[in-house]
Chain A
Amino acid sequence: MTTSGQAAIRARRRARFTEVVREIASHPSALIGAGLLLLIVVLALLAPVLMPMDRLDVTKITAHGNESPSGGHWLGTDPSGRDVLGLLLWGSRASLLVGFSATAIAMVIGTVFGMAAGHFTGLTRAVVLRIIDFFLVVPSLVLAIVLSTVLSRGLSTIVIAIGVTSWAQTARVVRAQTLTIETRPYIERSRALGAGDRHIIGKHVLPAVMPLVMANTTLTVGSAIILESTLAFLGLGDPTTFSWGSMLKTALDTGAATAGYWWFVLAPGVAIVIVVLCFTLVGRALEAVLNPTLRSR
């Protein structure tokens, strides 16, 4: 590839990118979602600065258990006297980490399987489709529970369990898009030029399904965070790390809700809702921008 051709292509990509950014910016809900998300990510990264770990150390804290919100503890304390705001900050790290990395795994598997199921024919397609169907019909929560009990305990197990169980929908969507792309005459032209499977998938199919994958990503992140909370709530998470799910579990175990300690139940619950909502807002806007047929609806 030569410089002028490359430069021209780069300029076009840049122009397209700014266009997409401008389109997204024209959706106020997406801006709010993206802004909040950025804030939450920054807070999660700054957790060690804002709330040093030793302030959550049960042996060093002075506060009583189940204190209601006050100037000292904005969101009150948990049954062992730890600051709920601190737990929330530290818990966001695990929740976001699991959400992002599990989604990454799910997207890669989903895209690869989806494209394979759409591109190939005959036996390959039949086998790939049955695998997708298997993961589609097995309840992902049950499968995730099984996986996280079989594998060793830890955050990475949760990531794998969620990643492996939540790619099937993406694969189906990608397959549908692949099928429509494959019938386009430009695929035929490419074949007539001598292209093989790798070229067609890499140059024509992958770029065409990417927008869908991107939009799906943001939607999957939300459900991955919920799934992580669920697993932690069921006691299948890593007991040594805080996450919003494990906070809810502690709340359940200590009877916080029935005892009227609302701050300890509501805080992680609302946090989960906000993050998932933000991802959904951004995801919907992204979908509308990248898929022009959804515009003006």
Chain B
Amino acid sequence: MINGVKGVMLILTFLALGEVVSHFIYNFIPGNVIGMVLLFMALQFKVVNPHSVEYISLFLVRNMALFFVPAGVGLMVSYRLLGEHWLSITLATVLSTFLVIATVGHIQQKFGKK
């Protein structure tokens, strides 16, 4: 029980710390991404015991797609913004996404270590 609370506490604390750092760098990098880096470093330097955040972390990352549902539903009102340029926006998005996946995937597959 106490460990469950500890995990939630740690994740929220790192998120809050990330938000603070983000504020001081003029939000150049968002707080949650900084929180991710800070948690990674804290685990790496053994400031935080991995076991204490394991359960909550796995719960959060395995259900990440669910947390995007509200943002996705936002499309029902914002699709009108696409306006007269919807065709160029759609084509640019589809082709560019494909090209980014191809570039990143192939370079990593070719030059990275397995």
Q: State whether these chains interact.
A: no
